[in-house]
Structure 1
Amino acid sequence: MDEAQLRRELREAALAHRPDHARILARVERGLAAPPQASRPRPAGPRALPWSARRWTAAVAVAVAVAGVVGVGGLAVTTLEPRSVPPATATATAPPAPGPAAGAAGTIDPGSNRWWAQGDLTVTTETSVAGLVVEVRVARTAGVVSTGHWRTRPADDFTVTVTEEPGALVYRWALRPGRTVPPGRHVFAVQYNHAEGVRDASADAYTVVLTGADGGRSTLRGGFGATPAR
């Protein structure tokens, strides 16, 4: 089988768009194994390549042709080398530090009257506290207007804000950086006017967030006159 015939058959296979790799490779092997055919004398010129060289050249040409057929057929073969996957490294995560031990209770001061009231929030800390945020929300019932606030800790230790929201008056104390709260009993009081009569304080609430020196955090929540949630 000569090279021209091989090319013709390969071209026909490419046009069929259904290349058969095994069939093509078998033809290539048969063509390479065939003995050389007698050829007519060639005019004098550059020395003709020996059969082994011509055979190698034909093999290269056939390989290129086969690559073209595979390209026309839209086929691609990828050989994946097995790769070792490094084992996952376990990362130990330390549990969060426990927050400061503390308790809180909210009550309506007995000195309140039919037009004015005071809510007392008592926070009891068992250890020194490096961070403290106290928030009291007084529900906006009829006639509620803020008249003041106070605390038993030094005034300079805290940043204090009173915000009027549609549904509540929000009193907030935040311990300044570098200050601490020692173990003990600490009171935060909110004062406000209200419509004449006995005011229902069941919708009032508080939130206390305490941070220890080691970063541990505790959160206390509750209402005024109800058992606080810890």
Structure 2
Amino acid sequence: MNEEISRRLREAAEEHRPDRARIVARLEQRTVAPAVGHRRPFIALPGRRAALAAFATAGILATGGLAVANIVAGPAPPPRPTAPVVPPATSPTPSPGSHPSSTAPSSASPAPSLGSSAPGTAPSASASSSRPTPQAGGRVRNGPVWSEGALDGHSTIYWAQSNLVLGVTQPLTSLTVEMRVAQTGAVRNTGNWRTLPADDFDVTVQESEGVLVYRWVLKPGRTVPPGQHEFASQYNHATGVRVTSGDTYRVDAQASGGAFALRGTFAPAR
């Protein structure tokens, strides 16, 4: 664009032909004019007017060209931000032998068969239900006295203990407790005890007619207070579970209301 303007200016300057006669006449007129008078407005010479017009045209063309160039080109747009490149998510490859988190190895164990129990644990209810149902040994009551007999749960296949619980609601002035353990083979006395004071009773143990008899007799002048008391006989026996069907007990008591007698049997161990 600047080269085009320069070229046109040169061509205009070369084509211009100044009017020399007119220029000389103007100079002579100014020389002979009176010193004082109205100054006439300055009239630009044709050559100067052409030069000024050329320079003005060149300036307008240059300014317009630059403006057009700026309008056409316009401000450079700001650089567009580049979106960050995110690598695609990949699932970790499980190592051999590992388990995914969504699944877990089954920990269910086969249910134990009925009637069996792990070492050191109590047998299940189904196993204990195999014991025979007690047919005897229920509670017996008569007046102010009641009694209940059963084989102790700690009995073994070699040794047993027969327990008799005695309940009293009135003081007893006389009491005799007798346990009869059937001789089923190798039955031998190993001891006895009671929860009442030992000095209050005379105790005997003897075998008679195939029965081992334990007897506690309250000494004269002693009394049995109201409450729950216990008597026990201990003995060895032939190997095996103790059968209590032939074992019995007898209680004879005296209170202010009269004499009371109870008879019963021993339930198997629970």
TM-score, normalised via structure 2 length:
0.46
Contact 1:145 1:193 in 2 (8 A): yes
Q: Which residue of 2 aligns with 1:213?
A: 256
Counterpart-to-counterpart distance in 2, 1:122 and 1:217? 19
Offset at residue 213 of structure 1 (A): 3.4
Counterpart-to-counterpart distance in 2, 1:100 and 1:158? 23
Contact 1:100 1:125 in 2 (8 A): no
Matched residues, percent identical? 50
Q: Which residue of 1 aligns with 2:206?
A: 163
Counterpart-to-counterpart distance in 2, 1:131 and 1:166? 27
2:215 pairs with 1:176: no
Decide which of 119, 127, 130 is 2:162's aligned counterpart: 119
Counterpart-to-counterpart distance in 2, 1:155 and 1:201? 27
Counterpart-to-counterpart distance in 2, 1:100 and 1:221? 14
Decide which of 120, 144, 150 is 1:101's aligned counterpart: 144
2:262 pairs with 1:223: no
2:239 pairs with 1:192: no
Number of matched residues? 127
What's the secondary structure of 2:199's corresponding residue?
A: helix
Offset at residue 196 of structure 1 (A): 0.8
Write out aligned runs for 1:9-28 (5 A).
Answer: none
Write out aligned runs for 1:72-151 (5 A).
Answer: 100-151=143-194
Amino acid at match of 2:156: N
Instruction: Render the CA deviation track for 1:98-153: whole Å, top value 9, x for unaligned.
Output: x8511000000001001000000001001111100000000001111010100000
Counterpart-to-counterpart distance in 1, 2:256 and 2:169? 13
Counterpart-to-counterpart distance in 1, 2:223 and 2:235? 29
Q: Who wins on radius of gyration, i.e. which is larger?
A: 2
Q: Which residue of 2 aligns with 1:36?
A: none
Unaligned runs of 5+ residues in structure 1 are 1-98
What's the secondary structure of 1:104's corresponding residue?
A: strand
Q: Which residue of 1 aligns with 2:93?
A: none
Instruction: Render the CA deviation track for 1:136-180: whole Å, top value 9, x for unaligned.
Output: 000001111010100000000000001111220000000000000
Unaligned runs of 5+ residues in structure 2 are 1-141
Counterpart-to-counterpart distance in 1, 2:242 and 2:156? 9
Offset at residue 199 of structure 1 (A): 1.6
Counterpart-to-counterpart distance in 2, 1:199 and 1:108? 9
Instruction: Render the CA deviation track for 1:48-101: whole Å, top value 9, x for unaligned.
Output: xxxxxxxxxxxxxxxxxxxxxxxxxxxxxxxxxxxxxxxxxxxxxxxxxxx851
What's the secondary structure of 1:224's corresponding residue?
A: strand
Counterpart-to-counterpart distance in 2, 1:183 and 1:100? 13
What's the secondary structure of 2:163's corresponding residue?
A: strand
Give the RMSD, CA atoms, in angstroms: 1.3
Contact 1:100 1:127 in 2 (8 A): no
Counterpart-to-counterpart distance in 1, 2:253 and 2:235? 26
Counterpart-to-counterpart distance in 1, 2:230 and 2:239? 27
